[in-house]
A and B are shown apart, each in its own frame.
Chain A
């Protein structure tokens, strides 16, 4: 879970954004690792756990600088890894420009191998497309290339290497590229940018494995796994836009928003015609695509937003071996305790409780790992991880990091015998109901 300080910072930023609406005044800035003087971007989007790439105007173009390099990254407290990214971070800083702007993006390669940058989804001259070998020569280590093109079409795009992309993307090299419309046809209170990706980091290891083809055990939003993901805090009734890109190696993600039906208004191919839009609560974001969805945060509360592929909502989950569900393990536990007193065998009644166990004092796990780690919730541990975050909808006066205070009588709880009797519900004494 993010720290209270981080949460307050992101909450404050979100609050500020929600009140400035479509104003293009800069709200965020960042310091480039190149040391160039920071300048404000448009500041109209917000990248949770991320930042917007600094830019400045020069010689008729908006100038930016990306440095490809190895970075020390924390997926969530308990798991750090040596990844590759841009400007000291993964996910790379969000590039934010305004439709029609010309950009000149310098790319410095501080990796041990060549690289290139492909501006995914953008319409641009062929020689700026960034496909090493096809449209340019690779950027050798130590070299700085300049890409220059006009951003003709508003939309949600991405950038990533196109040299040994299997390795470099698996190591974390990716970022979002937002071209804002000169005039937003549907102004929103909060414009959130999210990059989905997946990683293979062995529990106890500290470097992603680019050779993984299926065994991805860290699923991230902006390279953060829950409980490391920053919550999205909005005021009640706010219009919210999620710009979601997916540069996972192998998996699409069925992103599901609790409570609020949303509409996909655009893809990286352009606006979805209003006549083609339809309400939904889950949308599949395919590998190599973006989707922009909008909704109204109509109800107060803490609402989950996550990939609905259940294994994508777990952290470093073990797999490839039999489960223990339904097994009588009393004797096994006694024997195991004799062999290894410090272990706690569970799983015969399901995997729940693992998140609690992870927090137990003195319980040992592989160093630098977050197996089955969940987040602390207001009622109990939240048995989720990975590609999961919380949309906190609050009245404007309560935009803080506290858990939602439910009005009395609105939280599911133990049914009383009187209620059961009044409704004629008979609870079977033991086991599964014979009727089922």
Chain B
């Protein structure tokens, strides 16, 4: 329904007033602040640890800096990668970071949209007087000019902007989470591949020991000192060693592929090498004091989680959206405008107002949808928070256990194996035992070294989990997996090849 009362007099004044109001509104709308890409990048980086912020880039914002970062990454790839170096590479090369940044770009676009006023609508109409044909000397046709403007875009400008800002903030939090997760995943991939490479080396050595013993028994059987049964048993042991070595080869290949994937590399550039696991900084020594307090990590993870922050901001946007819809339901449309009617020399100008009448559709469906979205968001936030709490506690416990396991293997079991091997060597020199015992002792030592490598790997993985949680990001892998990985690593060697994502 459009009401356009004609104003015969005073139309000029009304027109001026309307123009002034329109100018003010346009000015106000244009003054709405929309951050640039650089500003948003700065905001994101300010929340990141310095080492990560250094390489976290929204590519395309500054070509010179982009080139410099790419060169730095190339240099990193020329040498064995450390976990931190891998994180730097992934932040630049893995497209998931740019994907996240572009999601932020979309939110930025939505914010821009929200800050813009709707365009006015101009309607022109001509009307011809009845009987006044063009052939006749008659009155010229009348012209009606109608300028309408959805005034609600002005009324709700602040609400729309506020909703878009909340969503942009949520997007920014997700970018931070994604950047941190990308870095952590790259670090984990390095640790896994370094461990798998070491295990492969150890299994190759194990094959050599098993082969040595097989040759011994074969030659001794040939000499008549041992039996076909002895030889068959050693052949079996050797075949088992080959099998384990093949598993280790497979795991090393898979973890290498997983590493390339985590770094976002492909082709010839993917032939990266990693540092030895033993060259990583020493792990903390678990003693009477707990290395990571589960309660403390739980609080910190909850407080810092950018994923929860994003969900909270989404929830905030949903709440605002609900408020916005609750108002809009009673005022679905409000158009204001000017109507000019020119009929010959008679010009009538006056304001017009168009209002949608909420008679049949009171926005019940929209309200229900938004209420449901709000409740769903709240439930999801609570679910995620509870899961994060559990994940944090489990990660702390898993890290403690992995550290203790690694420490026991490093400081107790490996030295004991060395003593055993040394004693076996002494006894072999004294002809106090058969050489098979020494080969078996060496194999026992190598398997203990494998256990130690896997324990060190698991300790490093949970350490990265802990750091990621403290930084405000959430590991994708359930900590239960990392706990069970210790016990399950031998039963399921493929564990080491599995990625968090």
Q: Is B429 an interface residue (CB 8 A)?
A: yes
B328 to A: closest C-beta gap in Å: 81
A343 to B: closest C-beta gap in Å: 5
Tell whether, in the assembled complex, residue A339 and residue B438 are in contact, meaning their CB atoms are under 8 Å apart: yes
CA distance A204 to B211 in the complex (A): 30
CA distance A327 to B224 in the complex (A): 8
Best-surrounded residue of B219, B421, B429, B435 (most CB of chain A within 10 A) = B429
CA distance A318 to B219 in the complex (A): 21
Please name all residues of chain A whose beta carbon is closer than 8 Å to the beta carbon of B363 when the two chains form the complex. none
Tell whether, in the assembled complex, residue A347 and residue B438 are in contact, meaning their CB atoms are under 8 Å apart: no
Tell whether, in the assembled complex, residue B225 and residue A335 are in contact, meaning their CB atoms are under 8 Å apart: no
Best-surrounded residue of B223, B421, B430 (most CB of chain A within 10 A) = B430
- Whether A354 contacts B431 in the complex (CB less than 8 A), given A322-B226, A324-B223, A340-B421, comes out as yes
- Whether A345 contacts B225 in the complex (CB less than 8 A), given A322-B220, A332-B212, A339-B208, comes out as no
Tell whether, in the assembled complex, residue A318 and residue B431 are in contact, meaning their CB atoms are under 8 Å apart: yes
**0 or 1 for each of A193-215: is its CB under 8 Å from B? (1 = yes):** 00000000001100000000000
Tell whether, in the assembled complex, residue A327 and residue B220 are in contact, meaning their CB atoms are under 8 Å apart: yes
B95 to A: closest C-beta gap in Å: 46
CA distance A371 to B211 in the complex (A): 28
Tell whether, in the assembled complex, residue B219 and residue A321 are in contact, meaning their CB atoms are under 8 Å apart: no
Q: Is B266 an interface residue (CB 8 A)?
A: no
Tell whether, in the assembled complex, residue A326 and residue B223 are in contact, meaning their CB atoms are under 8 Å apart: yes
Tell whether, in the assembled complex, residue B431 and residue A340 are in contact, meaning their CB atoms are under 8 Å apart: no
Contact of B219 among A327, A339, A342 (CB under 8 A): A327
Q: Is B432 an interface residue (CB 8 A)?
A: yes
Q: Is A276 an interface residue (CB 8 A)?
A: no
Please name all residues of chain B whose beta carbon is closer than 8 Å to the beta carbon of A357 when the two chains form the complex. 429
The residue of chain A having its C-beta at the shortest distance from the C-beta of B217 within the complex is A322
Those of A341-373 within 8 Å (CB) of chain B: 342-348, 351, 354, 357-358, 363-367, 369, 371-372
Tell whether, in the assembled complex, residue B421 and residue A371 are in contact, meaning their CB atoms are under 8 Å apart: no
- Whether A328 contacts B225 in the complex (CB less than 8 A), given A335-B212, A340-B425, A372-B430, comes out as no
Q: Is B107 an interface residue (CB 8 A)?
A: no
Those of A48-86 within 8 Å (CB) of chain B: none
Contact of B212 among A318, A339, A354 (CB under 8 A): A339
Q: Is B296 an interface residue (CB 8 A)?
A: no
A216 to B: closest C-beta gap in Å: 15
A54 to B: closest C-beta gap in Å: 40
Contact of A365 among B211, B219, B429 (CB under 8 A): B429
- Whether A326 contacts B431 in the complex (CB less than 8 A), given A204-B423, A336-B212, comes out as no
Please name all residues of chain B whose beta carbon is closer than 8 Å to the beta carbon of A343 when the two chains form the complex. 425, 428-429, 438
Please name all residues of chain B whose beta carbon is closer than 8 Å to the beta carbon of A317 when the two chains form the complex. 431
CA distance A351 to B431 in the complex (A): 9
Q: Is B87 an interface residue (CB 8 A)?
A: no
A91 to B: closest C-beta gap in Å: 26
Q: Is A250 an interface residue (CB 8 A)?
A: no
- Whether A203 contacts B432 in the complex (CB less than 8 A), given A323-B225, A327-B220, A332-B212, comes out as yes
Q: Is A433 an interface residue (CB 8 A)?
A: no
Q: Is B215 an interface residue (CB 8 A)?
A: yes
CA distance A329 to B432 in the complex (A): 18
Q: Is A338 an interface residue (CB 8 A)?
A: yes
Q: Is B222 an interface residue (CB 8 A)?
A: yes
B311 to A: closest C-beta gap in Å: 57
- Whether A328 contacts B421 in the complex (CB less than 8 A), given A366-B432, A369-B430, A372-B431, comes out as no
Q: Is A331 an interface residue (CB 8 A)?
A: yes
Best-surrounded residue of B209, B222, B425, B438 (most CB of chain A within 10 A) = B425
The residue of chain B having its C-beta at the shortest distance from the C-beta of A321 within the complex is B434
Tell whether, in the assembled complex, residue A371 and residue B432 are in contact, meaning their CB atoms are under 8 Å apart: yes
Those of B425-473 within 8 Å (CB) of chain A: 425-435, 438-439, 442
CA distance A226 to B223 in the complex (A): 33
CA distance A346 to B428 in the complex (A): 9
Q: Is B347 an interface residue (CB 8 A)?
A: no
Tell whether, in the assembled complex, residue A339 and residue B439 are in contact, meaning their CB atoms are under 8 Å apart: yes
Q: Is B413 an interface residue (CB 8 A)?
A: no
Please name all residues of chain B whose beta carbon is closer than 8 Å to the beta carbon of A323 when the two chains form the complex. 225
A356 to B: closest C-beta gap in Å: 12
Tell whether, in the assembled complex, residue B225 and residue A318 are in contact, meaning their CB atoms are under 8 Å apart: no
Q: Is A325 an interface residue (CB 8 A)?
A: yes
CA distance A363 to B429 in the complex (A): 8
Tell whether, in the assembled complex, residue B435 and residue A336 are in contact, meaning their CB atoms are under 8 Å apart: yes
Those of A280-324 within 8 Å (CB) of chain B: 316-318, 321-324
CA distance A372 to B426 in the complex (A): 13
- Whether A328 contacts B222 in the complex (CB less than 8 A), given A336-B438, A339-B212, A371-B432, comes out as yes
**B interface SS class:** helix
CA distance A58 to B431 in the complex (A): 55
CA distance A324 to B215 in the complex (A): 13
Best-surrounded residue of B208, B211, B225, B435 (most CB of chain A within 10 A) = B435
Tell whether, in the assembled complex, residue A318 and residue B432 are in contact, meaning their CB atoms are under 8 Å apart: yes
Q: Is B216 an interface residue (CB 8 A)?
A: yes
Contact of B429 among A339, A364, A367 (CB under 8 A): A364
- Whether A365 contacts B430 in the complex (CB less than 8 A), given A324-B225, A340-B442, comes out as yes
Contact of A340 among B211, B222, B430, B438 (CB under 8 A): B438
Tell whether, in the assembled complex, residue B426 and residue A365 are in contact, meaning their CB atoms are under 8 Å apart: yes
Please name all residues of chain B whose beta carbon is closer than 8 Å to the beta carbon of A326 when the two chains form the complex. 223-225
Tell whether, in the assembled complex, residue A322 and residue B225 are in contact, meaning their CB atoms are under 8 Å apart: yes
CA distance A358 to B219 in the complex (A): 26
Best-surrounded residue of A316, A321, A340 (most CB of chain B within 10 A) = A340
B450 to A: closest C-beta gap in Å: 16
The residue of chain B having its C-beta at the shortest distance from the C-beta of A204 within the complex is B423
- Whether A366 contacts B215 in the complex (CB less than 8 A), given A318-B432, A344-B429, comes out as no
CA distance A203 to B426 in the complex (A): 10
CA distance A351 to B430 in the complex (A): 11
The residue of chain B having its C-beta at the shortest distance from the C-beta of A371 within the complex is B430
The residue of chain B having its C-beta at the shortest distance from the C-beta of A328 within the complex is B219
B153 to A: closest C-beta gap in Å: 81
Please name all residues of chain A whose beta carbon is closer than 8 Å to the beta carbon of B425 when the two chains form the complex. 340, 342-343, 364
Contact of B435 among A203, A332, A369 (CB under 8 A): A332
Those of B166-223 within 8 Å (CB) of chain A: 208-209, 211-212, 215-216, 219-220, 222-223
CA distance A420 to B428 in the complex (A): 41
Tell whether, in the assembled complex, residue B431 and residue A332 are in contact, meaning their CB atoms are under 8 Å apart: no
Tell whether, in the assembled complex, residue B438 and residue A331 are in contact, meaning their CB atoms are under 8 Å apart: no
B284 to A: closest C-beta gap in Å: 34
The residue of chain B having its C-beta at the shortest distance from the C-beta of A323 within the complex is B225
Please name all residues of chain A whose beta carbon is closer than 8 Å to the beta carbon of B215 when the two chains form the complex. 331-332, 335
Contact of B208 among A338, A346, A365, A369 (CB under 8 A): A338
CA distance A325 to B224 in the complex (A): 9
Tell whether, in the assembled complex, residue B222 and residue A327 are in contact, meaning their CB atoms are under 8 Å apart: yes
The residue of chain B having its C-beta at the shortest distance from the C-beta of A315 within the complex is B430
CA distance A335 to B208 in the complex (A): 7
The residue of chain A having its C-beta at the shortest distance from the C-beta of B446 within the complex is A339
Please name all residues of chain B whose beta carbon is closer than 8 Å to the beta carbon of A336 when the two chains form the complex. 212, 216, 435, 438-439
- Whether A203 contacts B208 in the complex (CB less than 8 A), given A322-B220, A336-B438, A340-B421, comes out as no
A-B contact pairs, 29 of them (CB 8 A): A318-B430, A318-B431, A318-B432, A318-B433, A322-B220, A322-B225, A322-B434, A324-B435, A325-B223, A326-B225, A327-B225, A329-B219, A332-B212, A332-B435, A335-B208, A335-B212, A336-B216, A339-B212, A339-B438, A343-B438, A344-B429, A345-B428, A345-B435, A351-B431, A365-B426, A365-B430, A366-B426, A366-B427, A372-B430
- Since A322-B226, A329-B216, A365-B427 are in contact, a sample of 15 more A-B pairs with Cβ atoms closer than 8 Å, ordered by chain A residue number, is A316-B430, A324-B220, A327-B220, A327-B225, A328-B219, A331-B215, A332-B216, A332-B435, A335-B209, A336-B216, A358-B430, A363-B429, A366-B423, A366-B432, A371-B432
Which B residues fall within an 8 A CB radius of A?
208-209, 211-212, 215-216, 219-220, 222-226, 230, 421-423, 425-435, 438-439, 442
Top 7 A-B residue pairs of the complex, sorted by shortest distance between their CB atoms: A371-B430, A335-B212, A321-B434, A326-B223, A318-B432, A327-B223, A322-B225
Which A residues fall within an 8 A CB radius of B?
203-204, 316-318, 321-329, 331-332, 335-336, 338-340, 342-348, 351, 354, 357-358, 363-367, 369, 371-372
